[in-house]
């Protein structure tokens, strides 16, 4: 009884400590959720600001900074005043720091910002990224603001000035105030250098403070992008539980904190109450000793119930259509149900005592052994796996087995595994057929549109990463509808197959892909191929079709089957270009080939982002 009392006290203490840890973990989760939300809010705010600045820089670099262009930009800024929302003000400075335009109602000639850190940064560094500066006092309004700025250049690349958006630090502090973080809690927005950009509470007191010397920033490389963090605040000396979250897009960090004392206060009160209850219960433990005998009796009854369950197990196993197997710790079969004849072709008595893994395919054996080992060592209690195995009469079959460990009654030690297995061969065959149907065009045998789109995205990402060229040919059969009307749809199908074979013959490299793009339209993707190589490949395709000499009465003047080809090559002059830009450029080149009389190839000009694609094309007629 004394040992029981000591055990209860130890368990009670362990439970209370676990509860304390759980309280801290729950607080960490709350802080993590809060930090994630606030980080998303800050990220959205600065992303909105970045988009506005990009638009202004775009206008300035296209229209210039002349008097008329600045007047139009001022009108644009005035129109955006009501819809700026989180952005307080917009400003434009020339290369000397003189104010050119602003959303503030002030005299432009009274101010010059050439002494600001952000201005000097942009003047000396040609960095097109948005710069989030330290908080400063606004010269037009006097309040603390956070600056976000971008550089714009003259047409010759020289520094032309700065566009700037200002955000009130108080805006973030007021937003942070909406969240309940306790009497001594705090939320801070910092930049990556450890400068406080906004804080609740006491925003005006702590804004601009430099925390770069604190362990969180001194050892920044050792910390992940987001994690819980316990520290004693250098601002108010309070021991805090916090969670920080670093923005993925901007050099910003959200630090949400609660006072550790406030977090643990409810736990301390509840722990005191529970401890009193435990002490009271220990005094009456002696009285319940009488019930120990009844516990022994219940144990005997439980043993009988287990025997009955074992009998039920055998009954269910023998009536099941799946093969039920009990495997010992030595990996030999101790029991197998009659369904083994249907599943693997062997009678139960032929399998008893044999190695359970004897028929497993050699390639699948390591996976199966690893899973069995995991179950035997108690790392998992159940698992499911599919593998190939020998059948007594048929060829090799696929089997899916669901396994669960069995344990000794009383000691709870693992004594084997029960496996329920079924034949999955037909299911696997169907999976393979469906996989093929999902990627291959049924008529031509080429890749289908969906498979091509996926391959294009992969090659596009690889070419962008490696800085290599990527070319694409869009091929359209000339007057195909007239061909179908004249020769019939069966002949039309045969015609498409011939074109597909010609394309497949040219897609010789592993990364090349020929695909049916839709109807009589085909596409050939050529990685690591420049414009000249793309044009040469188009000529080969036309030559190959010319050799076939397929009659086409309505395709004048040749009266033979011909194709129109549009080609495009990306050279990454525009970093904003997307894969759709390559297809669109080739499509425009294809339309030019048709407009010029068909039976020819036209190469497009440089491939740019969709908003910048020029209508002009560089025709390259291949006769």
Q: Tens digit of pLDDT for each residue in 131-183?
A: 888 888 877 667 888 889 999 988 888 898 999 988 888 888 888 888 887 77
* Same domain assignment for residues 476 and 571: yes
28 and 149 in a common domain: yes
Please check whether residue 335 lies inside any domain of the structure. yes
Mean pLDDT (whole number) for 240-263:
85
Q: Write the DSSP assignment of 230-292 as a string of letters.
A: EEE-TTT--EEEEEEEE-SSSSEEEEEEEEHHHHHHHHHHHHHHHHHHHHHHHTTGGGGGGHH
353-369 burial string, b = 16+ CB within 10 Å, else e? eeebbebbeeebeeebe
Which of 408, 427, 428 lies closest to 416, judged by CA?
A: 408
- Quick one: pLDDT at residue 469? 92
Same domain, 400 and 479: no
Tracing tokens 């002349």 back to the chain, one arrives at 66
Q: Which residue has the higher pLDDT, 99 or 305?
A: 99
Q: Is residue 50 part of a domain?
A: yes
Q: Which of 28, 459, 520, 584 is catalytic?
A: 520
Supply the pLDDT for residue 602. 94
CA distance linking residue 147 with residue 215, whole number of Å: 27
pLDDT exceeds 70 at position 15: yes
Same domain (yes/no): 125, 258: no
Q: Which CA distances in Å does 294 have to 7, 42, 258, 290, 308?
A: 22, 64, 51, 8, 21
Whether 286 maps to a domain, the answer reads no
Give the pLDDT of residue 277: 85
Same domain, 156 and 189: no
Q: Are residues 198 and 243 in the same domain?
A: yes
For all residues of the chain together, what is the average pLDDT?
83
Q: Which residue has the higher pLDDT, 560 or 24?
A: 560
3-state SS class at 181 = coil
CA Rg value for the chain: 37
Alpha-helical regions (H) of 356-401: 365-376
From 26-30, 163-167, 317-321, 604-608, the region with the lowest mean pLDDT: 317-321
**Average pLDDT over every residue of 115-131:** 87
Q: Give the pLDDT confidence score for residue 308 in this predicted structure.
A: 59
Would 303 be classed as within a structural domain? Answer: no
Quote the domain boundaries for residue 206: 172-262
Question: Do 61 and 265 form a contact (C-beta atoms < 8 A)?
Answer: no
- Final residue of a structural domain among 212, 231, 262: 262
Tens of pLDDT along 352-363? 888 888 888 888
> Quick check: 232 pLDDT over 90?
no
CATH number, domain at 218? Answer: 3.30.450.20
Task: Mark whether 383 and 411 lie in a shared domain.
Answer: yes
Of the three residues 376, 408, 429, the one that is the final residue of a domain is 429
pLDDT at site 473: 95
Query: For 277-314, how does the pLDDT look when each residue is reduced to its tens digit (9 = 90+)?
Result: 888 887 888 778 777 778 888 777 776 666 656 655 55
Reported as a pLDDT band with limits 50, 70 and 90, residue 614 is very low
Average pLDDT, integer, range 595-602: 92
Compute CA distances 492 → 53, 486, 496, 543, 552, whole Å: 55, 9, 6, 20, 11
307 carries an active-site annotation:
no
User: Domains in the chain: how many in total?
Assistant: 4
For the whole prediction, is pTM greater than 0.75?
Answer: no
Rounded Cα gap, residues 593 and 586, in angstroms = 10
**pLDDT for 615 beyond 50:** no
pLDDT tens profile 480-538: 999 999 999 999 999 999 999 999 998 888 889 999 998 899 999 999 999 999 999 99
Predicted local confidence at residue 612, as pLDDT: 37
Of residues 607 and 439, more confidently modeled: 439
Same domain, 467 and 544: yes
Please count the other Cβ atoms lying within 10 Å of the Cβ belonging to residue 166.
26
What's the pLDDT score for residue 100? 87
Q: What is the mean pLDDT of residues 67-86?
A: 78
In angstroms, the CA 65 to CA 236 distance is 48
Are residue 496 and residue 598 in the same domain, yes or no? yes
573: domain CATH number is 3.30.70.270
- Whether the CB-CB separation of 537 and 606 falls below 8 Å is answered with no
Asked whether residue 233 falls in the same domain as residue 362, the answer is: no
Token look-up 């019930």 returns 291
Residue 285 lies in a domain: no
**Statement: residue 230 has pLDDT above 90:** no
Between 288 and 236, residue with greater pLDDT: 288
Kindly report which listed range (113-122, 386-395, 488-497, 610-619) carries the lowest average pLDDT score: 610-619
pLDDT at 436 over 70: no
Which among 180, 202, 205, 198 has a CA at the least distance from the CA of 253? 198
Element (H, E) at 540: helix 531-548
Specify whether 36 is located in the same domain as 142. yes
Average pLDDT over residues 205-211: 83
Residue 306 domain flag: no
Quick one: 448 and 561 in the same domain?
Answer: yes
Q: Does any domain span residue 152?
A: yes
In this model, does residue 610 exceed pLDDT 50? no
Q: Would you say residue 609 has pLDDT above 50?
A: no
User: Is residue 605 included in any domain, yes or no?
Assistant: yes
User: Of 364, 395, 429, which closes a domain?
Assistant: 429
Say what the pLDDT of residue 257 is. 86
Lowest model confidence (mean pLDDT) among 395-404, 433-442, 444-453, 464-473: 433-442
Whether 99 and 166 have beta carbons less than 8 Å apart is answered as: no
**209 by DSSP, 3-state: which?**
coil
- Calpha distance 497→444 (Å, rounded): 5
The mean per-residue pLDDT over the stretch 20-47 comes to: 85
């Amino acid at each position: 009884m004394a040992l029981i009392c000591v055990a209860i006290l130890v368990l009670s203490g362990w439970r209370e400590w676990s509860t304390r840890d759980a309280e801290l973990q729950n607080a960490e989760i709350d802080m993590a959720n809060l930090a994630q939300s606030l980080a998303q809010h800050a990220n959205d705010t600065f992303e909105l600001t970045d988009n506005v600045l990009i638009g202004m820089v775009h206008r300035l670099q296209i229209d210039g900074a002349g008097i008329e262009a600045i007047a139009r930009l001022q009108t644009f800024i005035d129109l955006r005043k009501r819809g700026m929302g989180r952005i307080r003000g917009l400003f434009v400075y020339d290369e000397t720091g003189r104010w050119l335009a602003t959303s503030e109602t002030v005299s432009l000639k009274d101010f010059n910002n050439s002494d600001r850190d952000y201005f000097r940064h942009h003047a000396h560094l040609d960095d097109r990224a948005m710069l989030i500066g330290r908080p400063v006092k606004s010269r037009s309004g006097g309040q603390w603001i956070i600056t976000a700025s971008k550089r714009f250049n003259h047409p010759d690349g020289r520094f032309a000035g700065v566009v700037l958006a200002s955000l009130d630090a108080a805006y973030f502090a007021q937003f942070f105030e909406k969240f309940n973080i306790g009497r001594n809690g705090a939320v801070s927005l910092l930049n990556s250098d450890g400068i406080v950009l906004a804080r609740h509470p006491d925003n005006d007191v702590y804004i601009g403070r430099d925390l770069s010397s604190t362990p969180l920033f001194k050892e920044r490389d050792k910390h992940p992008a987001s994690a819980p963090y316990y520290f004693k605040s250098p601002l108010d000396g309070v021991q805090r539980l916090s969670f920080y979250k670093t923005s993925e897009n901007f050099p910003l960090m959200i630090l949400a904190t609660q006072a550790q004392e406030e977090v643990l206060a409810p736990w301390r009160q509840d722990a005191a109450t529970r401890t009193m209850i435990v002490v009271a219960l220990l005094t009456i433990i002696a009285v319940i000793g009488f019930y120990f005998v009844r516990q022994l009796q219940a144990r005997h009854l439980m043993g009988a119930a287990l025997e009955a369950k074992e009998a039920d197990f055998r009954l269910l196993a023998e009536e099941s259509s799946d093969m039920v197997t009990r495997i010992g710790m030595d990996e030999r079969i101790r029991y197998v149900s009659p369904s083994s004849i249907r599943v693997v072709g062997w009678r139960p008595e032929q399998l008893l005592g044999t190695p359970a893994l004897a028929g497993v395919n050699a390639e699948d054996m390591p996976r199966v052994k690893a899973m069995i080992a995991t179950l035997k060592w108690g790392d998992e209690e159940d698992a499911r796996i599919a593998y190939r195995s020998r059948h007594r009469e048929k060829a090799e079959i696929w089997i899916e087995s669901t396994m669960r460990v069995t344990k000794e009654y009383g000691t709870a030690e693992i004594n084997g595994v029960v496996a329920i297995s079924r034949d999955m061969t037909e299911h696997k065959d169907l999976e393979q057929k469906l996989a093929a149907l999902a990627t291959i065009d049924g008529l031509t045998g080429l890749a289908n549109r969906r498979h091509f789109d996926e391959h294009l995205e992969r090659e596009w990402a690889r070419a962008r990463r490696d800085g290599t060229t990527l070319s694409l040919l869009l091929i359209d059969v000339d007057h195909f509808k007239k061909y179908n009307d004249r020769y019939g749809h069966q002949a039309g199908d045969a015609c498409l197959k011939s074109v597909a074979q010609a394309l497949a013959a040219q897609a010789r490299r592993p990364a090349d892909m020929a695909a049916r793009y839709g109807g009589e339209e085909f596409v050939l993707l050529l990685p690591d191929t420049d414009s000249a190589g793309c044009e040469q490949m188009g000529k080969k395709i036309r030559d190959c079709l010319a050799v076939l000499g397929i009659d086409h009465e309505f395709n004048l003047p040749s009266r033979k089957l011909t194709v129109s080809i549009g080609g495009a090559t990306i050279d990454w002059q525009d970093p904003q270009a997307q894969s759709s830009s390559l297809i669109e450029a080739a499509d425009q080149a294809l339309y030019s080939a048709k407009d010029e009389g068909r039976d020819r190839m036209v190469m497009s000009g440089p491939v740019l982002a969709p908003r910048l694609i020029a209508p002009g094309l560089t025709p390259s007629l291949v006769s």
